[in-house]
Amino acid sequence: MVGRALCPTAPNKGCAVTRILLQWRSTFVAEISLLPTVQLMPYTFPKSQEFFARAKHSIAGGVNSGIRLLEQPVPLYFERGEGARVWDVDGNEYIDFQLGQGALLYGHAPAGLADAIAAQAKLGLHWAAQCELELDVAERLQKMVPSAELVRFSNSATEAVMAAFRLARTQTGRKLILKFEGHYHGWSDEGLVGFANPPSTWNDPESPGHAHPSKGIIEEVKDQFVVARWNDIEHLRRRVEQFKGQIAAIVCEPAMCNTCCIEPEEGMLATIRELCDQEGMLMIADETITGFRFGAAGAQGYYNVRPDLTVLGKAIGGGTPFAALTGTREAMAKIISGESMHAGTLNANPLCLAASRWCLDEVLAQGPELPAKLNQLGQKLMVGLRKLADDHGVPLRPQGPGLAFHSLMLKPGKEERPVRNYRDYAELQDVARWTHLRRCLLEEGVRAIERGLWSISLAHTEQDIADALKLAEVAFKRHAESWTDA
Ligand SMILES: Cc1ncc(COP(=O)(O)O)c(C=O)c1O
């Protein structure tokens, strides 16, 4: 298999547009441009290359979400998917762990989901009014997520996060939101403050900086946030004390899936809950990734914590543009009164609702074993990848619970150590080397998320994991043979 074809074009070395559009990944993108040329290339992508060249004439930057430019050697164009597999326009087949950035918990195009959407499409696409389906979905959420006493639907998790911040400020009359370095809360002005600050803006560890990765942000937006380090309970207590009486809410991904898949250490979530109760702040759990992947009650069930507000995205719609803000009656009071505005032409769109009802029923049908089942498959893959890494002398350290995990790739000379927060990760992660390995994996038919996250779906089987590891073996060999540290 190795050397089946020669690369027809020089690999994308990170053009100027890529660098500008992905400024928010500025810590890492510069390193990607250091990638050496990959000579051997089992899969080739001529049609995707052709489409991407064409796209640049009609689509700004050629893609519709900046992060898609990270895909090397070219942003791929897909034709169809089925279960755990997906096929691109060049006929290349992949075992997919990218899964629509984690939204496809049920795999690609499950028949029941497609039928549910098609049946609703024949009845009506959109009413901007009420329908029974929205009750069906809301009532299922109440049953599944204990803190979801009331819900409001949106089209994206970014919007649901915006609504949560506004609601918390209305409820408390305070302006500050406390967030953690490395936690991603959507691409809005507010969601991105302090997300993945380059080291030059870190400040001292006691008062992390709140830089914004995008230009065009009103300076004052940043001042509405206090940034803290993840997994440092005493530091968090000091940050809350420092801004006593001014913080409306603490927001977090209960497991920091967006950065190295770092789980909360013992007591971390309980301390957030305790501080929120003590100081009259709202606890916002952003479960956009963890929701339903960690079981019917999400990460809040998995880690046994009860937030005031929860953001649900991705798996709630199984690949349709659907999200929800849920909360306790008390926390949702200002939406009920209308003091905190929440709106949207396409909110509670019937196609998305039909999809969501099917998805939630699927999660319910899985029962309490759902996270363990995904974890078991994921851990098998993690162990297999680690073995391949050791066999080929690649410093890859898969990290995370299994149902989702991250490809930590150690920089040359860095010792392995616990990765507790974003700073640890940024200091250790060899982005250029991971990007090179990821490309080799892709060229052999294994697709992980561009930034290093792997997601397992309910459609993956033991056979898929075994097949993926077989393909990965070739990829590791090619990577080890063609990689040289800068
Ligand atoms: C934790 C978290 N919050 C919010 C978002 C934003 O979701 P969306 O892209 O649907 O707006 C994401 C997206 O990846 C996410 O991972």
Distance from the CA of 99 to the center of ligand 1, in angstroms?
14
Give pLDDT, residue 42.
Answer: 87
Q: Indicate the pLDDT class of residue 41, thresholds 50, 70 and 90.
A: low
Which residue's CA is the nearest one to ligand 1's atom 12? Answer: 186
Residues 6 and 41: beta-carbon distance below 8 Å? yes
Answer whether residue 92 shows pLDDT above 50. Answer: yes
Q: Is 184 in the active site?
A: yes
Best mutation site among 314, 322, 346, 406 for ligand 1 pocket (most ligand atoms within 8 Å of CB): 314
Give pLDDT, residue 486.
Answer: 82
Q: Is 244 in the active site?
A: no
DSSP for 150-169 reads EEEEESSHHHHHHHHHHHHH
Answer whether residue 18 shows pLDDT above 70. Answer: no
Q: Which atom of ligand 1 is nearest to the CA of 161?
A: 4
Type of residue at 317: G
HEC profile for 10-73?
Answer: CCCCCCHHHHHHCHHHHHHHHHHCCCCCCCECCCCCHHHHHHHHHHCCCCHHHCCCHHHHHCCC
Residues 338 and 167: beta-carbon distance below 8 Å? no
- 399-408 average pLDDT score: 97
- Considering the candidates 232, 286, 430, 464, report the single residue annotated as catalytic: 286
Q: Which atom of ligand 1 is nearest to the CA of 158?
A: 11
Answer whether residue 95 shows pLDDT above 70. Answer: yes
Stated as kind and residue range, the H or E segment containing 224 is none
Residue 312: CB within 6 Å of ligand 1?
A: no
- 47-58 average pLDDT score: 98
Report the candidate in 254, 253, 309 with the shortest Cα–Cα distance to residue 281: 309
Answer whether residue 135 shows pLDDT above 70. Answer: yes
Mean pLDDT across the chain: 92
- 309-323 average pLDDT score: 98
> Per-residue pLDDT tens for 247-264?
999 999 999 999 999 999
Answer whether residue 68 shows pLDDT above 90. Answer: yes
Output DSSP code: residue 282.
E
- 56-69 average pLDDT score: 97
Give pLDDT, residue 244.
Answer: 98
Residues 208 and 239: beta-carbon distance below 8 Å? no
- 199-228 average pLDDT score: 94
User: Among residues of the chain, what percentage have pLDDT more than 90?
Assistant: 90
> Per-residue pLDDT tens for 78-89?
999 999 999 999
- 173-182 average pLDDT score: 98
Domains and CATH numbers, the chain: 16-109+430-482 (3.90.1150.10), 111-368 (3.40.640.10)
Answer whether residue 36 shows pLDDT above 60. Answer: no
Residue 190: CB within 6 Å of ligand 1?
A: no
Which residue's CA is the nearest one to ligand 1's atom 13? Answer: 186
Q: Is 477 in the active site?
A: no
> Per-residue pLDDT tens for 460-486?
999 999 999 999 999 999 999 999 998
Q: Indicate the pLDDT class of residue 6, thresholds 50, 70 and 90.
A: very low
Give pLDDT, residue 9.
Answer: 29
pTM metric for this prediction: 0.93
- Considering the candidates 43, 94, 106, 184, report the single residue annotated as catalytic: 184
Answer whether residue 307 shows pLDDT above 70. Answer: yes
Q: Is the dihedral of CA 22, 23, 29, 33 positive or negative?
A: positive
Distance from the CA of 1 to the center of ligand 1, in angstroms?
37
Which residue's CA is the nearest one to ligand 1's atom 5? Answer: 186
Answer whether residue 35 shows pLDDT above 70. Answer: no
Distance from the CA of 323 to the center of ligand 1, in angstroms?
10
